Amino acid sequence: MVMKGLTLRGLEVFEALARTGSVAQAAEITGLSQPSVSQQLRNLENALGTDLVDHGRRPMRLTQAGRSFLARAEAVLAELQMAQSELTLMDLGHLTTLSIGLIDDFDNDLTPRLATLLADSLTRSKFKLITLPSLDLFDELEAQRLHLVVSAHSGEVLEDVVEYPLVQDPFILVTPKGATDAVQELPFLRYAREQLISRQIEAHLARHKLNYEERFEIGSHLALMAMVARGLGWAITTPLGYMRATRFHDALEAHPAPFGDFARTISLFTRNDWSDQVPQDVAGMMRRLMRNQVVDPALAQLPWLADRLRVMG
């Protein structure tokens, strides 16, 4: 039996407070008034019999008990949100075939969940799901070998293509832990030039007239993050990329990009001759999955990304 005073709303308020340290921001996130946020927190602390936050500090800081409880609260909320996604899954049983391609940024968490959810709905359909680099995905879509692709937008005008924006993914600086002046003292570790993310980064650096020695060009994201963690250089990536490299986080530090804000958009694309409701439904499910499995965990770890890393639509 769940103890009296321990409510879903209380967990949501506590998670928002832990993320922002602000009653005002937690109220905005949860849609409650500030007095209601404070009351929900008091009810939760009374139910647990301990203080979860240091009420004498601004911004609020979690107590040791609060830090311990936060991990449990986040796990509970994530499972409830995933259950909601599964219950609101669309009926795709009318399709005879569905083929979808995704960039490999989501291989760790989102793609496996998406595959199982779609497979459950495609009761009598032929189903194909593949991962490819962004530019290859657009080629497959143009050749009509894929119905849907989830990719970073190339920035080019795409004829006969409908776009459903999913998430804004800002670029960030990643350095070895403790390297206070990495950009000046260490080499720049680039993504391989053939990759869309590399072209976007290089274009931004060119706009700022920044030129770095071309020593390292790495086609594997995890290899790139491993090299940064080893202290071999610094890199520019995005929160989605950073969160894929969890195994290296103890040796990495993430910072705002020092060359001005810039971001990429991850979207779902389909050809405009596919006028079915399916693309809209899949885009909605993708947004829920991205929020639960990627965006919210990233914001909890890197709160300075608030308002920059966000689900769209």
pLDDT in tens, 28-87: 887 888 888 888 888 888 888 888 888 877 777 888 888 888 888 877 777 666 655 544
**Confidence band (pLDDT; 50, 70, 90) for 90?**
low
> Residue 119's closest CA among 137, 138, 95?
95
Is pLDDT above 80 for 301? yes
Mean pLDDT check: name the lowest of 5-9, 197-201, 287-291: 5-9
Spatial separation of the C-alpha atoms in residues 258 and 181, rounded to whole Å: 12
pLDDT at 275 over 70: no
Mind listing the pLDDT tens digit for each residue in 217-270? 998 899 999 999 999 999 999 999 999 888 999 999 999 988 888 899 999 999
| Percent of the chain with pLDDT strictly greater than 70 | 91
Q: Is residue 263 within 8 Å of residue 289, measured between CB atoms?
A: no
Largest CA distance in the chain: 62
**Which residue in the block uniquely carries the two structure tokens 């990759």?**
195
Q: Which stretches within 49-188 are classed as H helix?
A: 64-87, 110-121, 134-142, 182-185
Average per-residue pLDDT in the chain?
A: 84
